[in-house]
Amino acid sequence: GGSGSIGAAVGHKIIGIDPGAGLMAAADRAVTDYGLTDWTLVEGSSAAMAVALDKAVKNEDPIIVTGWTPHWMFAKYDLKYLDDPKKSFGEDEEIRTVARLGLKEDAPSAYAFLDRFEWTDADMAKVMAAVQEGAEPADAAAAWAEDNAAMIDGWVDGIEPGAGETIKLAYVAWDSEIASTNVVGWVLEHRLGYKTELMQVEAGPMWAGVAGGDADAMVAAWLPITHKDYAEQYEGKYEDLGANLKGTKLGLVVPSYMDVSSIEDLAG
């Protein structure tokens, strides 16, 4: 159908996630860039977005959500990203590990491992799928770690165990970051002798926590675009340890049965 009919079919709503997510700022940009004046970006959470998507797909109803890769939803459902010719969602970024200042001196073994930690979207997908199927995140991380002992050997090779200190990892309840944070926590606890505290917070407090030293590190920094505002706000107050996963993507996502291919088609 025509463009107007898509807007009408979904009530001119884009189903978003938590308001602190960089993805929401990007979706706001898209609303402006593409002139989607009568559209509403609905705030919620990753979990609520996934529930809405599941319900729509089961009924073959139209729906537009904010989405990102890596995410299990692309394996579970037949979905497509809408083209973004104006690049509101940016391109070419990575997930980075960010540590508080002083972690290197205070917990050198944890720091050395965090600096080395890097995996792929295929690795992350396995943990995410297990969680999505109902496993506790810590159990899914442990199972993945047992299946991938050789990779973990490489991450900790030559690093002396720590002295049993507690490492606080901040993260947001994004499916991708639940997976990575639990795996990193497992390695710190089971291979490097640390205790861990996994602090689930919103995106702003996650960055504030690492910058202020209340958290030791996060593996959930999407840069250079998605978390640009946070990175600029706290510049000089954290240490960027580089990529832990490459090959990410963000955008507006729809079920493949919808007759729409570009964000441009939503205007009017």
Residue ranges that bind ligand PBE, judged by CB under 6 A: 17, 21-23, 68, 174, 176-177, 203, 222, 226, 250
Residues 22 and 29: their CA atoms lie apart, in Å, by: 11
Query: Looking at beta carbons only, is 142 or 220 nearer to ligand PBE?
Result: 220
Alpha-carbon dihedral sign for residues 28, 220, 20, 214: negative
Residues 85 and 59: their CA atoms lie apart, in Å, by: 30
Query: Looking at beta carbons only, is 107 or 140 nearer to ligand PBE?
Result: 140
State in angstroms the smallest separation of the CB of 158 from ligand PBE.
Answer: 31
State in angstroms the smallest separation of the CB of 22 from ligand PBE.
Answer: 3
State in angstroms the smallest separation of the CB of 228 from ligand PBE.
Answer: 10
Secondary structure element (H or E) that encloses residue 221, with its range: strand 217-223
**In this structure, are residues 187 and 116 in contact, taking their beta carbons and an 8 Å threshold?**
no
Query: Looking at beta carbons only, is 23 or 188 nearer to ligand PBE?
Result: 23
State in angstroms the smallest separation of the CB of 221 from ligand PBE.
Answer: 8
The three-state secondary structure class of 24 is helix
**In this structure, are residues 151 and 184 in contact, taking their beta carbons and an 8 Å threshold?**
no
Query: Looking at beta carbons only, is 123 or 194 nearer to ligand PBE?
Result: 123
| CB-nearest residue to ligand PBE | 23
